[in-house]
Amino acid sequence: MTPRAPDPARRNERSRQAILSAALDLIGELTYPKVTIEAIASRAGVGKQTIYRWWPSKAAVVFDAFMMLNKGGSSEVVLPDTGDFAADMRVVLHATVAEFADPRYASAYRALNTDVQDDPALAEQMLARVLRPTLEAVKERLRAAQRAGQIDTGIDLDVAIELIYAPLYHRWLLRTGPMTTAYADQVLDLALRALRPQ
């Protein structure tokens, strides 16, 4: 209740933001293996121990830095529902293409995709906090489309969501070709042929 009470919390929050921003800056500037906790601390103007007080590893810092970019860290994903499943999915996939085209988002997400390969626990966390919210929102939208007779009710929706999303990740992660809205539209058109009632 003293006037000075909020200061440490605010100072902590300022340091936290500075550390996450420094991590994002360095990931964009250097190749990821060259980004160290020391470099992040130095760029953020804090001591290395400040980072280790809040995060156990570089991967943990990167995860929170990515979450700061990823819809402000919200795990609430709601898809548009105009009644036209194809049009709604097109909006969502174009947003995904735009995210991948943002260098700051893309370099942080590549770093995160690197870290999870070696760390199944982190992969589980990424699945729960990054991938599942979007995939589940798409699944919810697919269920509505099933009720509206636009999607075959016999379809396994867990497979359906990967049929729609996986080609985008595949193209971006493995750099198999240009990552464009035209590509997203082609994928969606094919996926819709697979998913519609027949």
- Separation of alpha carbons 120 and 153, rounded Å: 33
Q: Does 31 bind a second copy (CB under 8 A)?
A: yes
**Tokens 């999915």 -> residue:** 89
Query: How many other C-beta atoms can be found within 10 angstroms of the C-beta atom of residue 140?
Result: 15
Q: Does 195 bind a second copy (CB under 8 A)?
A: yes
Query: How many other C-beta atoms can be found within 10 angstroms of the C-beta atom of residue 80?
Result: 13
Please list, in sequence order, all residues whose beta carbon lies within 8 angstroms of the beta carbon of residue 152, skipping any fewer than 6 positions away: 146, 195, 196, 197, 198
Residue 109 CB, shortest distance to a second copy, in Å, is: 9
Q: Are 64 and 126 in contact (CB under 8 A)?
A: no
Residue 117 CB, shortest distance to a second copy, in Å, is: 4
Q: Does 61 bind a second copy (CB under 8 A)?
A: no
For a second copy (CB under 8 A), the number of binding residues is 45
- Angle (CA) 187 191 192, round 5°: 120
Candidates 48-56, 80-88, 137-145, 152-160 — which segment interacts with a second copy by CB under 8 A?
A: 152-160
The contact pattern for a second copy, residues 110-149, with x = CB under 8 A and - = no contact, is xx-xx-xxxxx--xx-xx---x---x--------------
Binding stretches for a second copy (CB under 8 A): 31-33, 110-111, 113-114, 116-120, 123-124, 126-127, 131, 135, 155-156, 158-160, 162-163, 165-167, 169-171, 173-177, 183, 186-187, 190-191, 193-195, 198
